[in-house]
Structure 1
Amino acid sequence: MFGMKDLIGLTISAFIILPVVIFIREAGYFLISGLFGVKNPRLTIGTGPRLFTFLIFDVRKYYHVYSWFSFDSIKSDRNFAYICIYAGPILINLFIALIINALLANGYWEEFKTFWNRFIFYAFYYVLFDIIPMKTFNGKPNNGMVIYELLRYGKRVDYNEEPLIPGTTEVEEEYQEQIKQIEKVKEQIEEDE
Structure 2
Amino acid sequence: MFGFQDIPKFLLAFFLVLPLISILHEAGHVFFAWLMGAKNIRIVVGSGKPIFNRGILEVRQYYFWYGFCTFENIERKENLANILIFSGGAFFNLLSTGAVIFMVEQEVLEPGMLTYQFTYFSMYYVFFALLPMLYPGGNFSDGKIILELLKNKDEIIKERTYHVKWNTESNQWQILAHDGEVAASFETEEEAVDKARALAQENRPSRVILSTGEDEEKEIQNYPRIPL
Relative to the length of structure 2, the TM-score reads 0.64
Secondary structure, counterpart of 1:71 in structure 2: strand
Structure 2 unaligned residues grouped into runs of 5+: 161-202, 207-221, 224-228
Distance 1:122 1:48 in 2: 22
Q: Runs ≥4 in structure 1, deviation > 4 angstroms?
A: none
Distance 1:64 1:164 in 2: 27
Q: Deviations over 1:83-122 (max 9, x none)?
A: 0000000100001101111221233312x43321211111
Higher strand share: 2
Q: Deviations over 1:61-97 (max 9, x none)?
A: 3434222101122111111111000000010000110
- How far 1:164 sits from its partner (Å)? 6.8
Distance 1:115 1:51 in 2: 25
Distance 1:117 1:8 in 2: 15
Larger RCO (alpha carbons 8 Å, 6+ apart): 1
2:94 counterpart residue number: 94
For this pair of structures, how many residues does the alignment match? Answer: 165
Distance 1:24 1:5 in 2: 29
1:142 counterpart residue number: 141
**58-67 or 32-41, larger mean C-alpha shift:** 58-67
Q: Deviations over 1:124-149 (max 9, x none)?
A: 11111112212212232200110000
Distance 1:130 1:164 in 2: 19
AA aligned to 2:148 is E
Percentage identity across aligned positions?
Answer: 29
Distance 1:9 1:163 in 2: 40
Distance 1:12 1:73 in 2: 39
AA aligned to 2:10 is L
Structure 1 unaligned residues grouped into runs of 5+: 171-193
Distance 2:101 2:205 in 1: 32
2:23 counterpart residue number: 23
Distance 2:16 2:7 in 1: 14
Residues 79 and 154 of structure 1 are in contact (CA less than 8 Å); yes or no, is this contact kept in structure 2? Answer: no
Instruction: Return the index of the structure with the highest Cα Rg.
Output: 2
Residues 45 and 59 of structure 1 are in contact (CA less than 8 Å); yes or no, is this contact kept in structure 2? Answer: yes
Secondary structure, counterpart of 1:157 in structure 2: helix
Secondary structure, counterpart of 1:153 in structure 2: coil
2:121 counterpart residue number: 122
**87-96 or 62-71, larger mean C-alpha shift:** 62-71
2:130 counterpart residue number: 131
2:204 counterpart residue number: 163
1:81 counterpart residue number: 81
Residues 146 and 156 of structure 1 are in contact (CA less than 8 Å); yes or no, is this contact kept in structure 2? Answer: no
AA aligned to 2:46 is G
Secondary structure, counterpart of 2:112 in structure 1: helix
- How far 1:27 sits from its partner (Å)? 1.2
Distance 1:163 1:60 in 2: 22
Distance 2:32 2:133 in 1: 22
Residues 79 and 152 of structure 2 are in contact (CA less than 8 Å); yes or no, is this contact kept in structure 1? Answer: no
1:37 counterpart residue number: 37
Residues 19 and 45 of structure 2 are in contact (CA less than 8 Å); yes or no, is this contact kept in structure 1? Answer: no
**97-106 or 43-52, larger mean C-alpha shift:** 43-52
